[in-house]
């Protein structure tokens, strides 16, 4: 058995290296003794017949409409996979495209796929910097945010609450959105590389769907030590190094 991990539109949706979250899942699966492959998909005809996880990274506003139009041709598959419990991870504009859509400052709007609740709306100025999130499902997450829009309408199902950073904005105190195994976040990093426990949680979902058990392999320990050091540095920068994991 081989895990199939789809990296969606890596040619346009990878401005922050977010497409590499697919590689993180692939490597950690292999370290656990599970064969895995990453399939880069730029058009619907390239979608594999069976999928275990999907990663949709962040792109520029210049490519936003083009990416949306391509994703529309895959709407049926994405919605079905989300209903079936396949982990789908959208980051940055990937989150926005999976949501209800994007409102622009000039009053125009771009309709999203509607797979996740919430809509991206203009904010006053771009926000960049470290983010720390307490997620009840995935533990404490760290990452870097870089976005010029807030995200509203996800208050009932956020990824977690903020310990540092702007997250969804509008003084919501929240970051991201979750609907079953479909997850959207502003966290770059790539987020799964900085948060191995988050990656392992997705891999357990993938394994359970296939009737398997997943436990991190021994080879992951050395890499996780690097991730832990990066996390500690980010927590120190955010001034919450001694905050308990939550």
> Which pLDDT tens digit goes with each residue over 80-125?
999 999 999 999 999 999 999 999 999 999 999 999 999 999 999 9
Residue 246 is predicted with a pLDDT of 42
Peptide bond into 190 cis (omega under 30): yes
Residue 1 is predicted with a pLDDT of 87
Q: How far, in Å, CA of 35 to CA of 27, rounded?
A: 9
The answer to whether 241 touches 232, Cβ cutoff 8 Å, is yes
Residue 241 is predicted with a pLDDT of 63
Domains for the chain: give ranges and CATH numbers: 2-237 (3.40.50.880)
């Amino acid at each position: 058995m081989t895990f199939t991990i789809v990296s969606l539109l890596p040619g346009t949706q990878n401005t922050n290296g977010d497409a590499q979250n697919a590689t993180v899942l692939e490597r950690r699966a292999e370290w656990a003794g599970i064969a895995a492959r990453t399939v880069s998909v730029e058009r619907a005809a390239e979608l594999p017949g069976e999928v275990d996880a999907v990663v949709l990274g962040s792109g520029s506003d210049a490519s936003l409409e083009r990416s949306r139009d391509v994703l529309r041709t895959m709407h049926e598959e994405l919605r079905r996979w989300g209903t079936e419990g396949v982990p789908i991870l959208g980051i940055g504009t990937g989150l926005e495209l999976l949501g209800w859509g994007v409102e622009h400052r000039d009053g125009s709007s771009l309709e999203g796929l509607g797979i996740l609740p919430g809509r991206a709306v203009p904010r006053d100025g771009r926000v960049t910097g470290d983010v720390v999130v307490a997620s009840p499902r995935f533990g404490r997450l760290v990452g870097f945010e870089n976005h010029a829009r807030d995200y509203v309408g996800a208050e009932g199902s956020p990824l977690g609450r903020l310990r540092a950073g702007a997250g969804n904005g509008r003084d919501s105190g929240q970051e991201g959105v979750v609907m079953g195994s479909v997850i959207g976040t502003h966290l770059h990093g790539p987020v799964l590389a900085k948060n191995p426990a988050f990656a392992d949680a997705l891999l357990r979902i993938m394994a359970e769907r296939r009737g398997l058990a997943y436990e991190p392999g021994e080879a992951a320990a050395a890499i996780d030590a690097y991730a832990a050091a990066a996390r500690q540095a980010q927590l120190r920068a955010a001034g919450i190094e001694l905050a308990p994991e939550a």
